[in-house]
């Protein structure tokens, strides 16, 4: 028997997925251009050379999330495989 979602469900999802957000930001998010300008310039230079990971953007609300990938199909599939195991993502 499955219980209906409660008001606490989105809150608990945000608490649990916070570690996933940290993992994603550390591994896939581009550095912020305003607060981390030198890191952003290095990332941008690598992107122009083709040596960086695929450009990604994650959108998340409670327990729903989507990652947009600007790169090759192989890069998108590799990111998908890494995100399939949340405990692996959270422990890195």
- Hey, where are the domains in the chain? 8-91
Rounded to two decimals, the pTM is 0.65
Tens of pLDDT, residue by residue, the chain (92 residues)? 666 666 677 777 788 788 888 888 888 887 888 888 898 888 888 877 766 677 788 888 877 888 898 888 998 898 888 888 755 554 44
Contacts of 69 (CB under 8 A, 6+ apart): 54, 55, 56, 75, 76, 79
């Amino acid at each position: 028997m499955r219980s209906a979602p409660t008001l606490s469900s989105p809150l608990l999802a945000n608490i649990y997925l916070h570690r996933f957000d940290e993992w994603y930001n550390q591994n896939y998010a581009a550095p912020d251009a305003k607060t981390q300008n030198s890191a952003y310039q290095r990332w941008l230079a690598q992107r122009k050379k083709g040596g960086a990971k695929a450009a990604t953007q994650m959108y998340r609300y409670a327990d729903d999330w989507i990652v947009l990938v600007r790169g090759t199909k192989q890069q998108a599939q590799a990111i998908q495989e890494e995100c399939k195991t949340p405990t692996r993502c959270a422990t890195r």
